[in-house]
A and B are shown apart, each in its own frame.
Chain A
Amino acid sequence: MHDILTTCVYCGCGCGVYLHEQRGRVVGATPSRNHPVSRNNLCVKGWHLHEFIHHPSRLKEPLMRKNGKLTPVSWDEALSFAAHELGRIAAASNGNAVGLLSSAKCTNEENYLLQKLARAVLHTNNVDHCARL
């Protein structure tokens, strides 16, 4: 069993929380005692932070719409189709007809990469996230 210190993913408070790992599963969450925000305390969402991670309906494989239905495919097929479509529409419209939504749930590094993908690769500033919602 391992306890790993990480940051809670719910609200903007940003509590320091230990996730408990047992045989490849995250089985519990407890607050960090000395973290400046959590100070040995979590809200009800924080205490149950681990529960959604192993939910059976987590997406586990890439899906592609075939004959109107989302069907499991390989990563290679999904990504090459996606890249082809995004590239085609971006090139035809000079980037104007492509839009990207980033996520306030993802890390800083991922947000940085997404806006870089939009600006440097797809040549568009059409990138935003739900800051206003």
Chain B
Amino acid sequence: MAGLATTFGSGAMTNSINEIENAQVMLVIGSNTSEAHPQVARRMFTAMDRGARLIVIDPRRTLLAQRADIHLAIRPGTDIPLLNAMMRIILDENLADDLFIEMRTENFYELRDMLFRLDLEEAARITGVELASIRAAARLYGRAQKAVICYCLGITQHVCGTGNVQSIANLAMMTGNVEKEDTGVDPLRGQNNVQGACDMGALPNVFPSYQQVDIDDFREKFERAWHVSLSPRPGLTLMEMTHGGKNGPLKAMFIMGENPVLSDPVMSRVEETLDNLEFLLVADIFLTETARRAHVVLPAASFAEKTGTFTNSERRVQMVRRVIPPLGQSRTDADIIMDLSARLGYVMDYESPAEIMEEIAMLAPIYGGMHHDRLENSWGLQWPCWDREHGGTPFLHKYYFTRGKGRFVPAAHEPPAELPDDDYPFLLITGRIYHQYHTGTMSRHSVLLSREAGEALLQLHPEDGRRLGVRGGEMVRMRSRRGEVRVKAQLTETVKAGEVYTTFHFSEMPVNLLTVSAKDHFSQCPEYKICAVHLEKV
């Protein structure tokens, strides 16, 4: 999100999901949309039925890639040279939107100078894609009247994640593909309320509505509202908290509804960190791998047992409604927090979630018009929604960017932290699959989903399978510099020879024992998409 914040001023989908249906060209990069965001993929297929063209940039031949007009199967981690090459071609062939660049953006010359120094042949060589295909993709995208770029964690989970996002933003601004309906840059959010958790300031550097903690005006506003003095120093990020090890910065943690043992990179390091805390409090609906290490575990209510709101990927704030009372003695997380707070000597007294939302609306400008009574009688509202009269915002940056002028931030290629070598000759990519979800806390407790996909599979190219003597369904031992797991092989041409793919949903095959802890310097996003592994038949 840091990438879009620096270029556009706002790190969220610029379009609504339904607008994708009307695009003429769709550029999907680093997103296995049909598995991870089925409803977005559905809009893409509709658009194709209406004549839209699809460009997919992905190292794997995903379902979407198989249906694409152009599939650029790049070497993992080479998105920046590829995007820069596309931009250079757009510039050379006069497909840039000069008026848009002039009126709505700044710092274009820095990007242009960098692009003029770019050697196209060299860039193509780095990415492993034919220059002719890159040229075709650049022309297709550059000529479109309405073009949408969708990206996901395949872009952000790299050491150069922020640079990747900035390059996407550069490409969109250069061709004027931002300010209009059905046209834009759409980061697809992985979890149902990631957008909302960010909006609510569950981040170490900002209060709700992205108001920085180190800016006095913002901090004083919250000090007045909450009647306390607040720290101006940004806090630790998730990776800093969970990877401190034995002598980490933390002595106590409260983890609400997350499972970092399984979801964070270098699992052994997370376990070491949590085991060395003086006090660990976990609230969750199941006894997760993280909860098993806690000193106190609180039973939380599931989404069907509480009222509130979620914010989806297109910034739509919508109601979650209580269907049944909390099971057993479980309580909602809001209840738990209020009770804890009272015992700590600070009374949070809200009669209902609607009352909490009133406070949010007062303090968070982009949620200024979000009131439960308005959300109850509609399909939700898309932020920014400034006040009670405001009808929400289906697409962002109309007339001007959130930050004023869109800023071009040129990025240069940064190689991945760990690439295959003689000892670890395969490149491992991790991701999600259709039938399971994240660490499986919910989806693995569903009988039918687990029947469809009940165990982890390692996608392996048939050529590599032959070389290793591994047939489909046989077990392989997969080892990296950090750990080792055993996993069942699935031979498929979805992956290229030399590259393998698996998921992190299954605790029996904790693939994050293998992943690297390298991360993007700005966003702190770990490089899940690339590490080097060694494979052998068991």
Which residue of the partner chain B has the closest CB to A5?
Answer: B321
Is A105's CB under 8 angstroms from B303's CB? Answer: yes
CB neighbours (8 Å) of A85 from chain B are: 252, 278-279, 281, 295
Is B254's CB under 8 angstroms from A125's CB? Answer: no
Interface: B263 (CB within 8 A): yes
Could you mark each residue 2-37 of chain A with 1 if its beta carbon is under 8 Å from any beta carbon of chain B, else 0? 101111111111111001010011100000001111
**Docked pose: A5 CA to B374 CA in angstroms:** 15
Is A13's CB under 8 angstroms from B442's CB? Answer: no
Given A11-B37, A12-B192, A37-B17, the answer on whether A117 and B341 have CB atoms closer than 8 Å is yes
How many pairs, one residue from A and one from B, have CB atoms within 8 Å of each other in the complex?
A: 427
Give, as a whole number of angstroms, the nearest-CB distance from B296 to chain A.
5
Is A51's CB under 8 angstroms from B448's CB? Answer: yes
Interface: B131 (CB within 8 A): no
Give, as a whole number of angstroms, the nearest-CB distance from B291 to chain A.
8
Is B228's CB under 8 angstroms from A100's CB? Answer: no
CB neighbours (8 Å) of B400 from chain A are: none
Is A48's CB under 8 angstroms from B250's CB? Answer: no
CB neighbours (8 Å) of B507 from chain A are: none
Could you mark each residue 254-271 of chain B with 1 if its beta carbon is under 8 Å from any beta carbon of chain A, else 0? 111110100110000000
Mark out the residues of chain B between 256 and 301 whose CB falls within 8 Å of any chain A CB in the assembled complex: 256-258, 260, 263-264, 278-279, 281, 284-287, 291-292, 294-300
CB neighbours (8 Å) of B128 from chain A are: none
Interface: B365 (CB within 8 A): no
Mark out the residues of chain A between 54 and 90 whose CB falls within 8 Å of any chain B CB in the assembled complex: 54-55, 57-65, 70, 75, 78-87, 89-90
CB neighbours (8 Å) of A60 from chain B are: 299, 327-330
Which residue of the partner chain B has the closest CB to A60?
Answer: B328
* A interface bracket (residues with beta carbon within 8 Å of B): 35 or more
Contact partner of B304 among A19, A110, A130, A133, CB < 8 A? A19
Is A107's CB under 8 angstroms from B434's CB? Answer: no
Mark out the residues of chain B between 121 and 158 whose CB falls within 8 Å of any chain A CB in the assembled complex: 156-157
Could you mark each residue 185-216 of chain B with 1 if its beta carbon is under 8 Å from any beta carbon of chain A, else 0? 00011111111111111111101100001000
Which residue of the partner chain B has the closest CB to A123?
Answer: B231
Given A11-B191, A14-B313, the answer on whether A97 and B252 have CB atoms closer than 8 Å is yes
**Docked pose: A112 CA to B318 CA in angstroms:** 16
Is B204's CB under 8 angstroms from A12's CB? Answer: no
Contact partner of A7 among B188, B310, B442, CB < 8 A? B310
Contact partner of B449 among A9, A45, A118, CB < 8 A? A45
Contact partner of A12 among B37, B228, B237, B286, CB < 8 A? B37
- What residues of chain B have their CB less than 8 Å away from a CB belonging to chain A? 1, 16-18, 36-40, 42, 156-157, 188-205, 207-208, 213, 222, 226, 228, 230-231, 233-239, 241, 249-258, 260, 263-264, 278-279, 281, 284-287, 291-292, 294-300, 302-304, 306, 308-314, 316-325, 327-334, 336-341, 343-346, 348, 353, 356-357, 359-360, 379, 434-435, 437, 442-443, 445-449, 452, 523-526, 528
Q: Top 3 nearest A-B pairs by Cβ distance?
A: A14-B312, A60-B328, A107-B308
- What residues of chain A have their CB less than 8 Å away from a CB belonging to chain B? 2, 4-16, 19, 21, 24-26, 34-38, 41, 43-45, 48, 50-55, 57-65, 70, 75, 78-87, 89-90, 93, 95-133
